[in-house]
Structure 1
């Protein structure tokens, strides 16, 4: 059975959980309590700063940054809560496809490289080329959730190792980092791990893994956290590995039930509020994380801190700033997705059908064609 997750104020145990198939209603209730705390705390801090602003009429650069960070923290907690609720609903129908796990990891790390550099965190990687049978969308969500948790928890670097267990062979992903400052490891060796290790980000890693049938084994000892994920359906030609099953017929209900792009990040570039609203309405059901900026120069600044998974822009934004951004992003992520929205007549074209690799869609076709286009374009790098 799963160990009961601690409430936010409870001490965190030194090692995590031999978790089973799912959590009880009481355990989900504790996670929802934790969600409320992680949203309310930053919002309370933001409201206090807004109150000071209304009283004094002034806010300095540091205060503005703190206000922005508080709102961002509450927003991230809300988005994690949405993904946890999706897992808790129990209506997911998992697809099974052959995935190159090492390549997926490299793609995720490429997308997160600007974020890791901005935080000054080195990600050391040692990946054996292994393949697994799993749901591609959930695998993508799991790897990104793992990076979210590790990046906010580490006090040094992050070590990622992908290899095979001894017989019977299974793919094994090990994530290791110091959850205390390296200067304090000896002085605080006997203390409990910080409660932040059991944040919502961890709950999302844990529950996504469980939904996939992957056992998350976590150990927190002597200032070091080690999480091991073992993937039972590992395939290949080596002795001890399973032979891949024949491809199954696609189930059209899967996309609607499992929101295959849930957790993917889309950036909209348009100064027109009504177009931004129309774009968001067209993809509201897909579980995407959406941000919007008015100009391509603002998109350049946005991407300097971390990459979305695709950029949707209206045609007047074409120009030198777009070309500069494309050149930078394609160097880092060769399959990065750009989608151009045009006001006039335009045949819907995927990136594979255009000379410059930019997908195109007419505004009048957004409601019926944009979801399918995004499913194709954003899946290229998953």
Structure 2
């Protein structure tokens, strides 16, 4: 049974959340069941058709992928909600670029939004905030999930309000008369993402309000301790990659935004290079832990990505040295394990684990989260 904070979190500032009847855990159980029922039912139908025909098409594979992703999202949100409610959370307050994390999250969700015939419009100003990075990403993800209504126009605006005191993130959804799909109406039952939003905002101290009507749905988040980033932080890094870069001399990246990749796998290196290229990032590479240590002795990278096969005693010593200077130094470990479904930034420590199967979808998020951190004390 969830603890008291979760039950208290069900009272929305605009009285839109379910009435607190003392059985909030049963309400949430019903929401989880309802959200899992649809994808599981569709998966059952697809599997039955495959068994009957003895064939599987690309369309079936794509549909199964969507259904599995929907069920996975529900499972992840349930786990996050339970951890928050039970207080099993270690926060690390750091300066983060809210605009960068928000833009990346919207880009990752764009294919899903387009499939739902949602027209996205963005008005995002550069903003620094001080929060736990994993919690902030969870808040952004849950917000996008809750406000995503089929056949709507979605406007996302991030602005500084009376700087440097606070910033306002506002999501506004309006039905599209020209939509090819019937515009979705707010569901009769709460989405699981709303319960997660209420608990995350309570934990972070973020003010949340919402209004829901037939013509407009608005979600507003007010962040305290917000400031505009320095002008030099707005510059973009050049896009190029170098192998064992310390041997070539020169700066590793403009404004120190080049991660260090440790791997001797050419295929993995090319994949990570491509991801960084698409993100406008320079990437430095070291073939093994010894070369990585040599590189770090000359210049400390802002983030380290390493192949789990390179994780030896030398690399562990290097990790200890980096975290000694910066306890929140971000590491991304690439593992070959299908059970690694989520990043662990706010679940355990400073190491984010991404599996090779989901590398192209999960690594950009991990990179943006790590690189958005400020290294100076806050």
- TM-score (norm: length of structure 2): 0.58
Partner secondary structure for residue 152 of structure 2: coil
Alignment of 1:166-177 (within 5 A): 169-177=165-173
Shift of the alpha carbon at 1:195?
0.9
Partner secondary structure for residue 125 of structure 1: strand
Partner secondary structure for residue 331 of structure 2: helix
Equivalent residue number for residue 214 of structure 1: 206
Equivalent residue number for residue 145 of structure 2: 148
Q: Report how many residues are paired.
A: 287
Shift of the alpha carbon at 1:229?
0.6
The 3 A distance-change label for structure 1 pair 73 and 110 is closer
Equivalent residue number for residue 177 of structure 2: 182
Shift of the alpha carbon at 1:173?
0.9
The 3 A distance-change label for structure 1 pair 360 and 130 is closer
| 1:41 aligns to 2:38 (yes or no) | yes
Shift of the alpha carbon at 1:108?
3.5
The 3 A distance-change label for structure 1 pair 201 and 339 is farther
| 1:365 aligns to 2:311 (yes or no) | yes
Mapped partners of 1:221, 1:229: distance in 2? 18
Equivalent residue number for residue 216 of structure 2: 224
Note if contact 1:18-1:215 (Cα within 8 Å) is conserved in structure 2. no
Mapped partners of 2:61, 2:144: distance in 1? 27
Shift of the alpha carbon at 1:76?
1.9
Partner secondary structure for residue 87 of structure 1: helix
| 1:326 aligns to 2:277 (yes or no) | no
Equivalent residue number for residue 134 of structure 1: 131
Shift of the alpha carbon at 1:211?
1.7
Partner secondary structure for residue 121 of structure 2: strand
| 1:200 aligns to 2:147 (yes or no) | no
The 3 A distance-change label for structure 1 pair 47 and 132 is same
Find 1:315's aligned residue among 254, 262, 265.
265
Note if contact 1:39-1:74 (Cα within 8 Å) is conserved in structure 2. yes
Q: C-alpha root-mean-square deviation of aligned residues, in Å?
A: 4.7
Equivalent residue number for residue 157 of structure 2: 161
Shift of the alpha carbon at 1:170?
2.7
Shift of the alpha carbon at 1:199?
1.8
Partner secondary structure for residue 182 of structure 1: coil
Equivalent residue number for residue 371 of structure 2: 380
Judge which range, 372-381 or 227-236, deviates more.
372-381
Q: Structure 1 unaligned runs (5+)?
A: 7-13, 238-309
Alignment of 1:228-307 (within 5 A): 228-234=220-226
- TM-score (norm: length of structure 1): 0.58
Partner secondary structure for residue 195 of structure 1: coil
Q: Structure 2 unaligned runs (5+)?
A: 1-6, 230-259, 320-328, 333-349, 352-365, 374-378
Mapped partners of 2:125, 2:190: distance in 1? 29
Shift of the alpha carbon at 1:158?
2.1
Mapped partners of 1:32, 1:314: distance in 2? 46
Partner secondary structure for residue 157 of structure 1: strand
Shift of the alpha carbon at 1:176?
0.8
The 3 A distance-change label for structure 1 pair 364 and 17 is same
Q: Deviations over 1:27-79 (max 9, x none)?
A: 23321331133224322331233233223323454444333322222222112
The 3 A distance-change label for structure 1 pair 85 and 163 is same
Mapped partners of 2:105, 2:312: distance in 1? 28
